[in-house]
Amino acid sequence: MITTSALRRMAKAGDADAQFRLGYRIALGRKRPRPTRWKDSIALWQKAAVQGHVRAMYFLAVCHDCGYGVPQDYKLAMKWYKKAAQAGDEVAQYNLSLSYRFGEGVAKSKPKMVYWLRRSAQAGYPDAMRNLGFCLHEGFGTPKDYAGAVYWYRRAAKAGDRIAQFNLGLCYLDGDGVSRSRRWARYWLGQASDNGHRKARRLLNKIKQR
């Protein structure tokens, strides 16, 4: 592990990755946020972000989004989320999709919400996979596509997302996008139940009693 003193020297010399890592270590290095140090970290992440460091862009966006060390500013948060999202950061893409859904820092736009949600899902982010499945299932911001919903629910479910596991179980119960199958419904509801999904546990018990 690189020492903090070495990171400081490298960051001072303009190394973007060192600036990001030093900022992370200052604010989060002991596995818990240290609010009094956010400003120091933000200054370092700002330097790294303007050099194109993608994770620094994302962390800078989160700080402006949540008001960590700076006044909360959704528009500034969206500026950095967009830069990180365009550079391929899947979590920034997901957060940007939520911003377009709720109109935080940007005008509401369901097409843009779905666009960034899909980008994030394609990059493998489970939350995005599950939410894209929901949008396709419900026709929210995009035409209904049960088969597409099942595809993304299954990918998120296999990644361990308990809500996607529950939703996939419901699809098998109702025959949405798949042939009805009580066996597969029980399987995915069981996976969700094992992961702590209470509704899945209750529904699974009802199915077993029939």
For 64, other C-beta atoms within 10 Å of its C-beta total 23
The mean pLDDT values, 10 residues at a time, for the chain of 210 residues are 92 97 87 75 97 97 94 95 98 97 95 98 98 98 98 98 98 97 95 96 83
pLDDT at 33: 65
pTM recorded for the entire structure: 0.91
Contacts of 205 (CB under 8 A, 6+ apart): none
Query: In the CATH scheme, what is the code of domain 124-210?
Result: 1.25.40.10
pLDDT at 32: 65
Q: Which DSSP string corresponds to 1-22?
A: ---HHHHHHHHHTT-HHHHHHH
For 201, other C-beta atoms within 10 Å of its C-beta total 15
